[in-house]
């Protein structure tokens, strides 16, 4: 049974009536979910899978635009971030025991969607780490009609010379009991809270940057630092495992910024090229968080997503009627 959870509507800037809930996972962790309502005669519900360090308030503006386009949005604080339970005593460490454990959170999210009576069809939107979690969920049968991704983490960008060291450090950390230690060059500082706009890798839009900074400054408990060695090893392994699996059979579209410097763009291109009916669009000048770019860019991306969702939904409805 879900219980009411804290939600900061003034920071989210989402549609009126948004609410957050606590939900327990199968392995007994508490996660937070937020429902951003759409219109009464809705076209479906977007299951929005955020990236690492993110939280439900961050997607209020996106949810407002989805509501204008006819959709409800349900999003989540993954285990270890936002206001969800942490995996380690250091609340700033981005840590997880097994990457597969995120699928417990996905299951809890689906249960919440059913309990809330959210309208079908369901559609997936996965950003960065959420794109990795989402791809695994799709392969395992996530009941959505179509999928969209922004800067999906299907590979992590790093210098070729550093990759063997990252694998070795991650594997060795588990053997030596130091998997909770921050990955090299990272620490407890929140990237958004501490980096200057001029040097950031996430967005070229100052208003989008200010929106994110305001949230983590006003609610410091939402801040997350760098990933743990355990998280890094698990993430690299999951990306490699998923790269060997065939694409799900459903319509999908992915967006990547031309100035993407966090995730592995060739891996994204390879995945979408092998995805039957998959589409990949490059956002000129965009950085890692294309949905935190200016309102015109964000609107154009969401309209393209909805085109894919609507086309898939209509096809699915027709197939159901003829069956």
pLDDT at residue 280 in the model: 98
Burial 163-199 (b: 16+ CB within 10 A, else e): eeebeebbeebeeeeebbbbbeebeeebbbbeeeeee
Query: What pLDDT score was predicted for residue 177?
Result: 52
243 half-sphere exposure, CB direction, 13 A CA radius: 17
The predicted structure's pLDDT at residue 230: 87
pLDDT at 172 over 60: no
Task: Please give the pLDDT value at position 323.
Answer: 33
At 5, phi and psi to the nearest 5?
Answer: -125, 160
User: How does residue 211 score in pLDDT terms, banded at 50, 70 and 90?
Assistant: very high
Residue in this structure with the two tokens 């086309």, named with its chain if needed: 311
pLDDT digits (tens, 9 = 90+) for 175-201: 445 456 787 778 999 999 999 999 999
CATH number among 3.60.9.10, 3.40.50.2000, 3.40.50.1820, 1.20.1260.10, domain 3-322: 3.40.50.1820
Beginning with the edge strand found earlier in the chain, give each strand of the sheet holding 122-127 in spatial order. 3-5, 19-24, 30-36, 71-77, 44-49, 122-127, 147-150, 252-257, 279-283
What pLDDT is attached to residue 176?
47
Q: Give CA–CA dist 259/101, Å, rounded.
A: 31
Query: Would the pLDDT of 315 be above 70?
Result: no
What is the model's pTM? Answer: 0.93
Q: Does residue 35 contact residue 74 with C-beta atoms inside 8 Å?
A: yes
Check residue 295 and give its pLDDT: 96
Ranges of H-type helices in 244-291: 265-273
Q: What are the DSSP E strand ranges found in 156-225?
A: none
Q: DSSP E strands: which ranges in 41-141?
A: 44-49, 71-77, 122-127
Top-confidence residue, 269 or 171: 269
pLDDT confidence of residue 316: 55
pLDDT score for 108: 98
Share of the chain above pLDDT 70, in %: 90
Closest CA to 232 of 299, 166, 157, 323: 166
Residue 313: which pLDDT band, with cuts at 50, 70 and 90? Answer: confident
Beta 252-257 vs 279-283: how paired, if at all? parallel
Within the chain, what is the greatest distance between any pair of CA atoms? Answer: 59
Residues 6+ apart with CB under 8 A from 180: 88, 90, 93, 95, 228, 229, 230
Q: Which of 55-64, 88-97, 163-172, 230-239 has the highest mean pLDDT?
A: 55-64
* Per-residue pLDDT, 182: 83
Each domain of the chain, given as residue ranges in start order, spans 3-322
Q: What is the pLDDT of residue 165?
A: 52
Q: Give the CA radius of gyration of the chain.
A: 18
C-alpha 118/C-alpha 140 separation (Å) is 22
40-86 pLDDT, tens per residue?
999 999 999 999 999 999 999 999 999 999 999 999 999 999 999 99
pLDDT in tens, 110-145: 999 999 999 999 999 999 999 999 999 999 999 999
């Amino acid at each position: 049974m879900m219980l009411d959870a804290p939600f900061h509507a003034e920071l989210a800037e989402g549609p009126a009536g948004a609410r957050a809930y606590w939900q327990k996972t199968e392995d007994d962790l508490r996660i937070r979910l937020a429902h951003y309502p759409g219109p009464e005669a809705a076209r479906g519900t977007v299951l929005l899978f955020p990236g690492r360090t993110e939280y439900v308030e961050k997607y209020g503006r996106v949810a407002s635009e989805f509501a204008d386009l006819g959709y409800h949005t349900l999003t989540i604080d993954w285990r270890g971030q936002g206001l969800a339970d942490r995996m380690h005593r250091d609340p700033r460490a981005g840590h997880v025991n097994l990457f597969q454990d995120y699928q417990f959170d996905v299951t809890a999210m689906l249960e919440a969607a059913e309990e809330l009576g959210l309208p079908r069809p369901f559609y997936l939107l996965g950003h960065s780490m959420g794109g990795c979690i989402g791809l695994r969920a799709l392969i395992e049968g996530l009941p959505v009609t179509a999928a969209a991704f922004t800067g999906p983490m299907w590979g992590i960008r790093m210098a070729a010379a550093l990759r063997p060291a990252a694998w070795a450090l991650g594997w060795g950390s588990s053997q030596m009991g130091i998997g909770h230690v921050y990955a090299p060059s990272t620490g407890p500082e929140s990237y958004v809270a501490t980096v200057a706009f001029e040097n950031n890798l996430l967005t070229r839009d100052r208003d989008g940057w200010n929106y994110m900074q305001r949230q983590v400054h006003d609610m410091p408990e939402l801040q997350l630092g760098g990933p743990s060695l355990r998280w890094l090893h698990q993430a690299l392994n999951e990306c490699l495992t998923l790269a060997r699996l065939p694409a799900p059979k459903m319509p999908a579209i992915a967006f990547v910024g031309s100035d993407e410097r966090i995730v592995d763009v060739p891996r994204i291109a390879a995945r979408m090229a092998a995805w039957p009916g998959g589409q990949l669009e490059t956002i000129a000048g965009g950085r890692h968080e294309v949905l935190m770019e200016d309102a015109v860019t964000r609107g154009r991306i969401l309209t393209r997503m909805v085109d894919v969702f609507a086309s898939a939904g209509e096809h699915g409805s027709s197939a159901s009627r003829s069956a």
